Amino acid sequence: MKKNNKVLHTLAEHLTIGARIALRCRDVGCSHYDIAKCCNVTERTVYNWCKSKSIPELRYIPSLCFILHSQISWLVSGRMDKYQWVDEFPIGFFDFLVSIRNINIENRGDVLRSVFEMAMTLHFSINNSAHKKHNFNCFVDKEPTHKVHKFKCFMNRVTTNSPFHHVEEVKHEVQENLTFSGRFNIRKLELGLSNKGISLFCGVSEKTVYNWGKGKSLPTIMQFPALCSILDADMSWLVTGCCDLPQWIGMTPTELKVMLDNLNRLPSRTVNQIYLSVSVIVHELDTIN
């Protein structure tokens, strides 16, 4: 389905959110049906979003970003984050992330490390038994005899010539377990803000701000940038409880970088089998619980 598996945006503040959605649909080869299924809305609703006849509610933004391989800040405001992932994501990677959302944030990183390390170990073992040569230096220690390949946790290996740069400290703690109102109230309390001050800054009534804090309503997309500004909050964190993709997965940016580099070296069939295996296990465990 996906034709372009890069998350790469250009400044698009001049576009409406509908135009940005339509742009990403084209870039990743995503249909209205795909979006409707992911967001649990009708195709007509998606059509109206793309034609700017209506604006998505805030609750649909995380799902939209998943299916469109997009960043929340860009989709909502047209502005780019301080950094962008310019790496190729393996085909199906974002669909795979949707399938593991039920794993607790504390365990996601460990699950992914274990599964991918196991998959790589099996991949090398099979290839070595068939006397095939593959260059996966990030995973294999170069022993003089070339007979023993010791597999260590590949997530901790860093490629020295990588163009990837990112500050590994994030602005907020993970608060995925809280609702939007919970995160809103945390920032409001930390900064000592009043409902009146927020209402004046965002151009809404105090009653509206009160409802945000009580979980009775959500800000609109148009109100959200101003709200993030006065709360000094990362937009992705305020919507989802996580600042960025590495934090959501439970890995450092370096770990994710190395994982993506090496996944892209695997045959697509192997990668799909990894996705399928993890998805099945997660589904079974979720059913049992």
Same domain, 24 and 41: yes
Same domain, 215 and 195: yes
pTM for the model stands at 0.68
Same domain, 32 and 67: yes
Residue range of the domain that includes 270: 93-169+246-288
**What confidence tier does 103 reach under pLDDT thresholds 50, 70, 90?**
confident
Across 160-174, 242-256, 258-272, least confident range: 160-174
Contact status, residue 53 vs residue 60, Cβ threshold 8 Å: no
Top pLDDT among 149 and 235 is at 235
pLDDT of residue 33: 94
Domain count across the chain: 3
Per residue in 206-228, pLDDT (tens digit) is 999 999 999 999 999 999 999 99
Is 88 among the domain residues? no
CATH number at residue 188: 1.10.260.40
Contact status, residue 150 vs residue 141, Cβ threshold 8 Å: yes
Contact status, residue 174 vs residue 236, Cβ threshold 8 Å: no
Residue closest to 116 by CA, chosen among 2, 258, 5, 244: 258
Same domain, 165 and 51: no
Q: At what angle do helices 32-39 and 17-28 cross, to 10 degrees?
A: 110
Same domain, 142 and 191: no
pLDDT of residue 195: 95
Contact status, residue 21 vs residue 97, Cβ threshold 8 Å: no
Is 3 among the domain residues? no
The gap from C-alpha 251 to its chain's centroid, in whole angstroms, comes to 12
Is 175 among the domain residues? no
Mean pLDDT for all residues in the chain: 77
